[in-house]
């Protein structure tokens, strides 16, 4: 690879890094291996906001690159030429190349062998939502190991240039655990820098998702449809009408492999749904859910008032009836008295 190409690539990556940092929103997805596949799960749009069209996003890739185990990461990799090689290495999925959870003070090492030559490997960490990139080329320091420190405010350094064969050691310098993994931080990298990986799994029609709003335990099964403009991404659109954590349970099968896997939003996985009024301006509106609750309360009050009113009218009509009866009895008494007087008069 020529120096020029290397520089072009570096420029592209810098552009991406700044574009992502510039938006400064915490875009989080959870990546996990499910059988022979890797699932990357999250909301279609993050941050997810209550009352706005969103949905379940699932990206499925098949596992052809061994992760975590650096002893045999040559296995299964085809030494192609030039650009074609990037197709075999999953640089875009969360954890497509490596992923590790680091306790406070712990470290993780990954050796970038010649398969990574001329590639730029983006990486990021949760829940600090920071990212960096490793460029593997012919230039760079001639050392066996390069250290990347993980701090609350990001990676140090965030941009690493190494030669093939160098081990990168990630050190957690924070007081909390973190997850460091390959892949860009956001949902999707620009197409010019991250072409559709060769190992995406297309045309799955045998998976469904059960969406649960955790706090209320309200659940619904939805169909997953492959996004027409994003091969290997499966979506199920819905409008989250309550804030908080959601659980996505994928079930069915892929190519005969049974799938039943749950993903729940949290600060180390994918975003929870934010109440809408947090981002409303200038007037914060009541959420439809609050209006509905208020309406339900008013309806209850009206029903109670109605019952009271009919109770009152019941007792009122009872009183009227008693009054009429008393009146009739009174009249009857007068008539009897009159008759008795007449009779006594005739006798006299
Ligand atoms: Cu991630």
Model confidence over 162-178: pLDDT tens digits?
999 999 999 999 999 99
Q: What percent of the chain has pLDDT over 90?
A: 36
SS3 300: helix
The Å distance, Cα 326 to ligand 1 centre, comes to: 85
The Å distance, Cα 97 to ligand 1 centre, comes to: 12
pLDDT classification of 155: cutoffs 50, 70, 90: very high
| Residue 12 forms part of a structural domain | yes
The Å distance, Cα 241 to ligand 1 centre, comes to: 26
The Å distance, Cα 94 to ligand 1 centre, comes to: 5
The Å distance, Cα 33 to ligand 1 centre, comes to: 13
Answer with the residue of higher pLDDT: 18 or 39: 39
At residue 24, the pLDDT reads: 36
The Å distance, Cα 246 to ligand 1 centre, comes to: 18
Residue identified by tokens 């956001």 is 186
Q: Convert the pLDDT of each residue in 232-273 to its tens digit.
A: 889 999 999 999 999 999 999 998 899 999 999 887 788 899
At residue 259, the pLDDT reads: 94
pLDDT classification of 9: cutoffs 50, 70, 90: low
| Residue 348 forms part of a structural domain | no
Answer with the residue of higher pLDDT: 331 or 173: 173
The Å distance, Cα 126 to ligand 1 centre, comes to: 6
The Å distance, Cα 184 to ligand 1 centre, comes to: 7
- Is pLDDT at 334 greater than 90 in this prediction? no
Q: What is the mean pLDDT of residues 301-309?
A: 79
Whether ipTM > 0.90 holds is yes
At residue 288, the pLDDT reads: 75
Q: Convert the pLDDT of each residue in 34-69 to its tens digit.
A: 988 989 899 988 888 888 889 999 999 888 654 444
At residue 72, the pLDDT reads: 40
The Å distance, Cα 28 to ligand 1 centre, comes to: 6
At residue 67, the pLDDT reads: 43
pLDDT classification of 27: cutoffs 50, 70, 90: low
| Residue 347 forms part of a structural domain | no
How many other C-beta atoms can be found within 10 angstroms of the C-beta atom of residue 303?
A: 10
| Residue 211 forms part of a structural domain | yes
The Å distance, Cα 334 to ligand 1 centre, comes to: 98
The Å distance, Cα 26 to ligand 1 centre, comes to: 11
For residues 95 and 93, what is the distance between their CA atoms, to the nearest angstrom?
6
Indicate the DSSP class of residue 299.
H
The Å distance, Cα 163 to ligand 1 centre, comes to: 25
At residue 26, the pLDDT reads: 40
> What is the span of the domain harbouring residue 22?
3-275
At residue 41, the pLDDT reads: 92
The Å distance, Cα 179 to ligand 1 centre, comes to: 8
Q: Convert the pLDDT of each residue in 282-298 to its tens digit.
A: 888 877 777 788 888 88
| Residue 292 forms part of a structural domain | no
Q: Convert the pLDDT of each residue in 81-126 to its tens digit.
A: 333 345 578 888 888 899 999 999 999 999 999 889 889 999 999 8
- Is pLDDT at 191 greater than 60 in this prediction? no
**In contact, 90 and 199? CB cutoff 8 Å:** yes
pLDDT classification of 187: cutoffs 50, 70, 90: low
Is the peptide bond preceding residue 157 cis, with omega within 30 degrees of 0?
yes
Q: What percent of the chain has pLDDT over 70?
A: 76
The Å distance, Cα 180 to ligand 1 centre, comes to: 8
Task: Report how many domains make up the chain.
Answer: 1
| Residue 241 forms part of a structural domain | yes
The Å distance, Cα 269 to ligand 1 centre, comes to: 8
The Å distance, Cα 183 to ligand 1 centre, comes to: 7
| Residue 70 forms part of a structural domain | yes
At residue 192, the pLDDT reads: 40
At residue 348, the pLDDT reads: 44
The Å distance, Cα 98 to ligand 1 centre, comes to: 11
Alpha helices in 24-79 (DSSP H): none
At residue 344, the pLDDT reads: 62
At residue 76, the pLDDT reads: 40
- Is pLDDT at 156 greater than 60 in this prediction? yes
The Å distance, Cα 176 to ligand 1 centre, comes to: 17
| Residue 342 forms part of a structural domain | no
Residue identified by tokens 């975590």 is 68
The Å distance, Cα 82 to ligand 1 centre, comes to: 27
Helix%, strand%, coil% for the chain, nearest 5: 30, 35, 40
Q: In b/e form, how buried is each residue of 90-124, taking b as 16+ CB within 10 angstroms?
A: bbbbbbbbbbbebeeeebbebbbbebbbbbbbbbb
Cross-sheet strand order for the sheet of 218-223: 218-223, 207-213, 246-254, 257-264
The Å distance, Cα 159 to ligand 1 centre, comes to: 18
């Amino acid at each position: 690879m020529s120096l020029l190409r290397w520089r072009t690539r570096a420029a592209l990556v810098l552009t991406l890094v700044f574009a992502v940092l510039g938006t400064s929103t915490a875009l989080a997805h959870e990546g996990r291996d499910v059988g022979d596949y890797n699932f990357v799960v999250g909301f279609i749009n993050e941050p997810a906001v209550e009352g706005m069209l969103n949905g379940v996003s699932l990206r499925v890739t098949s596992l052809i690159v061994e992760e975590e185990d650096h002893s045999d990461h040559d296995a299964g990799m085809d030494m192609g030429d030039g650009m074609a090689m990037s197709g075999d290495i999953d640089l875009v999925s969360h954890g497509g190349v490596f992923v590790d959870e680091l306790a406070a003070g712990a470290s993780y090492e990954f050796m970038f062998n010649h398969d990574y030559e001329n590639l730029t490997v983006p990486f990021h960490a949760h829940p600090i939502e920071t990212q960096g990139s490793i460029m593997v080329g012919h230039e760079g320091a001639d050392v066996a190991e390069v250290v990347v420190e993980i701090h609350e405010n990001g990676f140090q350094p965030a941009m690493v240039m190494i030669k093939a064969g160098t081990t990168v050691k990630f050190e957690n310098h924070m007081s909390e655990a973190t997850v460091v993994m390959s892949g860009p931080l956001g949902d999707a990298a620009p197409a010019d820098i991250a072409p559709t990986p060769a190992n995406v799994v297309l045309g799955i029609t045998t998976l469904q998702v059960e969406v649960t709003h955790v706090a209320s335990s309200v659940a619904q099964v939805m169909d997953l449809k492959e996004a027409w403009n994003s091969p290997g991404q499966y979506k199920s659109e819905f409008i989250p009408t309550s804030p908080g954590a959601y659980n996505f349970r994928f079930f069915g099968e892929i190519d005969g492999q049974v799938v039943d896997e749950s993903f729940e939003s949290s600060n180390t996985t994918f975003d929870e749904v934010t109440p809408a009024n947090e981002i409303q301006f200038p007037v914060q509106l009541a959420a439809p859910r609050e209006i509905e609750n208020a309406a339900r309360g008013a309806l209850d009050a009206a029903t109670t008032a109605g019952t009271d009113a009919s109770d009152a009218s019941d007792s009122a009509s009872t009183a009227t009836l008693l009054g009429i009866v008393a009146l009739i009895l009174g009249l009857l008494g007068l008539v009897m008295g009159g008759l008795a007087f007449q009779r006594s008069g005739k006798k006299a």
